[in-house]
Amino acid sequence: MTLLQIRLIIAAAIACLVAAPFVLNPFSITLLNYIGIYALAAIGLALLTGVGGIVSFGQAAFVGVAAYSTAWATALNGYSPWLGLVLAVILTCSVAAILGFVTLRLGGHFLSLSTVAWGLAIAFLFGNIDGLGQHNGISGIPPISIGRVALVESWQIYFLIWTIVVAILLLCYNLLDSRIGRAMRALRGGNTLVESLGISAFQIKLLTFVIAAFFGALSGWLYAHLGRFVSPGPFEAGMGIEYLMMAMVGGAGSILGGVIGAAIVTLLKNAVQDYLPLIARGASGQLEIVAFSALFILFLQRARQGIVPFLSSFLPGMKLSRPQAAAPLPRREQPPPGTLLLKVSEAQRRFGGLIAVNNVSFEVKSGEILGLIGPNGAGKTTMFNLLTGALRANSGEIAFAGRSITRDQQFHIARSGISRTFQHVKLRPRMTLLDNVLLGTYSRTRTGLFAGALRLNQAEEASARYEALQQLERVGLGDKPFELAGNLPLGNQRVLEIARALAADPTLLVLDEPAAGLRRQEKLKLAELLRSLRADHLTILLVEHDMEFVMSLVDRIVVLDFGSKLCEGEPAAIRSDARVQEAYLGGVA
């Protein structure tokens, strides 16, 4: 599909939304109002859970904080609903920021469990605070007024709700196609990947978390002023899982999925309420939740992908145009060839009683390719992790470009000019080649959240896209920039990782077993690529197993054995070194 076709579809959808109140009966409009309100909370979750991979059961609590804030401000204290909105947003986002700050360092399911915990705790609070009406809730919430018009009728607030929904959708799509959004989309690849790109995973997670809460706050504010009444019920754990269901049914990775999911779940619920009493008289209330949970479980078992991704696989693919030439991104000043770039002195790392790296020292000079080799268990990977900050050294010192990086966090090290690749390829398989490489430009670009969401970043974005295309061309993958990364064969995936690393304009490129699992032809091409990079004065540190590959390529070799440095020298000298032969082949009997 072309951009024009997509714009036409969007225009048609908006036209339908505008026409709806003039065609539909009041009940349907009320239903649409609730769909819009739930959609806002579900879009937040789609962003947090679908894009960011953080499963939260607590979204309902955020909606509740906002609804209660505005109810407190307007019904109990007589302020304007707009002031209620400000209070709701500030309070909800602050609560989210604090909770996120405390919990977002937790891994996987522990994080999700914490959302159950604070979700419950907040819901309990609503029912137990005297000033908030306890279990009776707060009634008499005034309607929202725009100018002198009070939005009392459901068709009036309908326009407000759906304007907000459409605006949020557009902002989200813009955001996800910008620098910060790409970082969010990378979160599912794991912390090591994200940090290796110079992105602080924690910062991005916190940002995503607060944005999701912000959407929840909008939803809660509208909810309070639509129903004109709040009570603890709609913000309890059950609703938390319902929001999750909306986001996942719609297609967790898709923002539009939040809206579609909210519509399906709300309509389904409505239908269930209509028809269940016919099947089981008197027991419909109980059966409703059973039917719903059962459907959700069935969905999670059978069709996790969700509706929007399923449907869009039938649509013709987007026709995207290749990035045009643009002003280049700023480049790092490379040190002159031959200067000392990386200095490892007496680095040691222990795991309990095992000393994986034992007082290893070596240096890397600018412009050379250094190979770090050794038999299995020699401590190569541990050394690699120390260099990139994935592990901390117990003692010793690692200095890069004259500055100690021993205690730096991974993303700081990445930003200071060390780019890495992974032994087990870490790409975002559902993102295009171009987007994967664009991730590498993160540390060279500046666009923030708002600039990205409002598309104020076009000049920088064009430069970044052109840079990414150039790096793809440099490694020989420039012919299909819009292919999905997951469709590439392993050899090309490794090369794509190198392109991504190059897009960060590194001073030092560290490669973790780049030849592992490659066929002979692929290895030869890879060696050729690395030689061409050296010709461009890039410094490369290579951890490798494949002797033939290393010997034919590198300038110098450092050999590790049992955690200690065995020797160091030029390939020919290493090849004839008796100690190295013994380490690899066993002692001469």
Partner 1 sequence: MTADIAAILAIDGIATGAVYALVAIGTVLIFTVTRVIFIPFGDIAAFTALTLAALDAKQLPGTVGLVVVLACMACLMEVVSLARAGELRAVPKAILGYLVLPLIVVGIVWLTMRFNPPMPVRIVLALLLIMPISPLLDRIVFRPIADASVLLLLTVSVALHFALVGLGLLFFGPEGVRTEPLTSMALEIAGVHVSGQTILILTAALVFSGLLLLFFDFTLLGKALRATAFNRTGARLMGIRPARAGTIAYLLGSLMAGVSGILIAPVNTIFYDSGFLLGLKAFVGAIVGGMTSYPGAALGAFGVGILESFASFQSSTLKDVIVFSLLIPILLWRSLASHHSEEEVEE
- Joined together, the tokens standing for residue 459 give 């000049």
Write down how long the chain is. Answer: 589
Residue 105 lies near partner 1 (rule: CB under 8 A): yes
- Among 112, 145, 358, 564, indicate the residue that binds partner 1 (CB under 8 A): 112
Q: How far is the CB of 362 from partner 1 (least distance, A)?
A: 26
Q: Which of 243, 302, 295 is nearest to 59 (CA)?
A: 243
CB of 101: closest distance to partner 1 in angstroms? Answer: 11
Which span sits near partner 1 by CB under 8 A: 108-116, 139-147, 395-403, 434-442? 108-116
Of 83, 120, 425, 449, the one binding partner 1 by CB under 8 A = 120
If binding is defined by CB under 8 A, does position 202 make contact with partner 1? no
In angstroms, give the least distance from the CB of 413 to partner 1. 18
Interacting residue with partner 1 among 8, 9, 18, 121 (CB under 8 A): 121
The residue range among 122-130, 266-274, 393-401, 544-552 that interacts with partner 1, by the rule CB under 8 A, is 122-130
Among 30, 79, 173, 188, binds partner 1 (CB under 8 A): 188
The reply to whether 279 sits near partner 1 by the rule CB under 8 A is: no
End-to-end CA distance of the chain: 69
Which one, 33 or 191, has the nearer CB to partner 1?
191
Sign of CA dihedral 193, 194, 199, 202: negative
What is the closest distance, in whole angstroms, from the C-beta atom of residue 125 to partner 1 in the complex?
6
> Which part of the chain contacts partner 1 (CB under 8 A), choosing from 6-14, 110-118, 339-347, 516-524?
110-118
Name beta bridge partners: 342.
Answer: 364, 400
38 versus 118: smaller Cβ distance to partner 1: 118
Q: Are 496 and 437 in contact (CB under 8 A)?
A: yes
Site for partner 1 in 484-543 (CB under 8 A): 486
Candidates 14, 267, 279, 300; binder of partner 1 (CB under 8 A) is 300
Nearer Cβ to partner 1 (242/408): 242
DSSP string across 236-278: SHHHHHHHHHHHHHHHTT-HHHHHHHHHHHHHHHHHHHHHHHH
Assess 384 for contact with partner 1 (CB under 8 A).
Answer: no
* Residue pair 356/563 in contact by the 8 Å Cβ criterion: yes
Query: Pick from 6, 14, 77, 124: which binds partner 1 (CB under 8 A)?
Result: 124
CA atoms within 13 A on the CB side of 171: 18
The nearest distance, CB 45 to partner 1, in angstroms, is 12
Q: Is 88 exposed, middle or buried (0-12, 13-18, 19+ CB in 10 A)?
A: buried
The residues, ordered by sequence, that sit 6+ positions from 372 with a Cβ below 8 Å of its Cβ are 380, 383, 384, 541, 542, 543, 544, 557, 558, 560
Query: Does position 162 bind partner 1 by CB under 8 A?
Result: no
**CA 464, CA 459: separation in Å to the nearest integer?**
9
Residue 399 sits at φ, ψ, to 5 deg, of: -120, 135
Task: Indicate whether 141 belongs to the interface with partner 1 (CB under 8 A).
Answer: no
Q: Of 38-46, 116-124, 495-503, 540-548, which part binds partner 1 (CB under 8 A)?
A: 116-124
* ∠ Cα 253 255 258 (to 5°): 100
**Interface pick for partner 1 out of 10, 20, 24, 106 (rule CB under 8 A):** 106
User: In the stretch 227-256, what mask flags binding to partner 1 with x, by CB under 8 A?
Assistant: ----------xx--x--xx--x--------
Residue 275 in contact with partner 1, rule: CB under 8 A: no
Helix (H, G, I), strand (E, B) or coil at 516: coil
The least CB distance from residue 212 to partner 1, in Å, is 16
- Give backbone dihedrals phi and psi of 494, rounded to 5 degrees, phi first: -65, -40
Integer angstrom CA distances of residue 582 from 219, 355, 389, 559, 574: 69, 21, 32, 12, 12
Among 22, 25, 78, 109, binds partner 1 (CB under 8 A): 109
Q: How far is the CB of 205 from partner 1 (least distance, A)?
A: 12
**Among 102, 303, 320, 325, contact with partner 1 (rule: CB under 8 A):** 102
- Cα 314 from chain centre: 26
Are 440 and 501 a contacting pair, CB within 8 Å? Answer: yes
Binding to partner 1, residues 417-476 (CB under 8 A): 429-430
How near is the Cβ of 309 to partner 1 at its closest, in Å? 12
Alpha helical stretches, state H, 187-254: 191-196, 201-227, 237-251
Contacts of 401 (CB under 8 A, 6+ apart): 335, 341, 342, 416, 417, 507
Q: Which residues bind partner 1 (CB under 8 A)?
A: 53, 55, 57, 99, 102-103, 105-110, 112-114, 116-118, 120-121, 124-125, 128, 188-192, 237-238, 241, 244-245, 248, 283, 285-290, 292-294, 296-297, 300-301, 304, 429-430, 486
